[in-house]
Structure 1
């Protein structure tokens, strides 16, 4: 299969490109190779390469940057994705869109289903949901993959936490989420694109947990004595609001593709087994 991966310099896009290269021909394009806000150029490039599927992993993912740069966020995340969706639909090519748990609003206290109402509370989530809606409006062949707090790859919050000194670590928000091992995400995407079961899917590791407890779990694994403290978003200015609960249910992923996501604890252990600390 010939797969075009957009956003190949980002953490997920880069990992996806390398993962899929093992079995497929991958066309990896980053923002220097393709400006997704240029509609004509996007159509030209997709037409030129003629891939079997396009994975749209390009965009702005810094939550706080998006909050303070609303126009740019919608231009890249929403209109940029619209351009990719338009090209894919015009050429009858399936699009895979990497979306986010932040499309959910956090008002629930049980895991979100794909059919639950989405009421994002920050600009990042709103720009991602707007992109989802455009894809669903104009495309007949699409996979929207909602994932959350990915770890692994080059830009990893677990690595960053381990690299810090013995001073206490402060994490913005004690929100309940599903951590997601990027290896598990990529494995799921590789299975999903082999099908034509188009739709919206939650793709995260099993188990709801606070961000603080994930990092505590990592430190306990290595027997490190470090304080990990939650920091309320209200205590800091220029910080985007975070939903308090965005855990997701993955039954649909299992029912449609027989993909059983591992627990976050097992996946964190698997990941930690691949890295070393000083």
Structure 2
């Protein structure tokens, strides 16, 4: 039986992975910061704790879903962000090599500066403009340095079972007639379910390396919000505002890439696998969410 250790198992992707593998012959070692309900506590920033856990359980695959993903908070908590987003992946990569496990690490579109005019491919040079992006890039570097066999998946605008943009918009729509949403930041909304499917596909192969992993197609945050409201039958108006206008309303917000559309180029070069269009993935998610 295949044994998979998942960090950050209570997050959106961690939950989606468990559902994706529900019908598979797999033993999960579910870990997160807080233990309980079959979840084991693991601090990925502690190398001794990681080594002990990995040597005791001997997983075939380690999937790192743990991250400090609050982009604004990362600016204020840079030491913590580096510990979770860089040191954590380093520790897991060292441990994976120690026991010969495959390492799967989740990264982000925010490793790019976002001033491009075409979708970023895996061969483009990262240049992050926020603490979140910088710490995630260092995590990538550590994985490349210490993991013998790794899949690194850069994703974007993730939503699933947990706190996310879709649920925030629907919640705010209950009490607001109008919401201001940025219209000049471009990307690809990605379902955690679709990302979990891609992980399941890749981990069975020896097709190692860096992969972009987003749903097909692209949009901006305001248009994404429009699509959410339409599917939910909400009358709340989405006011399209620029990043500059939004920054005036929320001066503490971190810099975000204006153009962070990712092309799943490596996936297309090396396999026939394709992720769903973001509209279709959103349809599936909304139907399940709204019943």
TM-score, normalized by the shorter chain, greater than 0.5: yes
Q: 1:234 aligned to 2:247?
A: yes
CA distance in 2, matches of 1:240, 1:121: 9
The alpha carbon displacement at 1:154 in A equals: 2.3
SS at match of 1:273: helix
Relative to structure 1, the CA distance from residue 172 to residue 60 in structure 2 (aligned partners, 3 Å threshold; closer, same or farther) is: farther
- 1:174-253 matches, cutoff 5 A: 174-229=184-239, 230=241, 232=243, 233-235=246-248, 236-253=250-267
SS in 1 for 2:152: strand
Deviation, 1:17, is: 2.7
What are structure 1's unaligned runs of at least 5 residues? none
Which of 136, 140, 145 pairs up with 2:144? 136
Q: Distance in 1 between matches of 2:262 and 2:187?
A: 8
Gaps of 5+ in 2: 35-40
Alignment match, 2:278: 264
CA distance in 1, matches of 2:198, 2:83: 29
Deviates more, 1:121-130 or 1:234-243: 234-243
What is the count of residue pairs matched by the alignment? 277
- Write out per-residue CA displacement over residues 4-58 of structure 1, whole angstroms, 9 at most, x where no aligned residue: 1001122222222332243121111001300111101101101111011000111
Instruction: Tell me the residue number matched to 1:65.
Output: 73
How far, CA to CA, are the matches of 1:80 and 1:194 in structure 2?
24
Secondary structure class of the residue paired with 1:274: helix
How much has 1:202 moved relative to structure 2?
0.4
Measured on the aligned residues, the alpha-carbon RMSD in Å equals 1.6
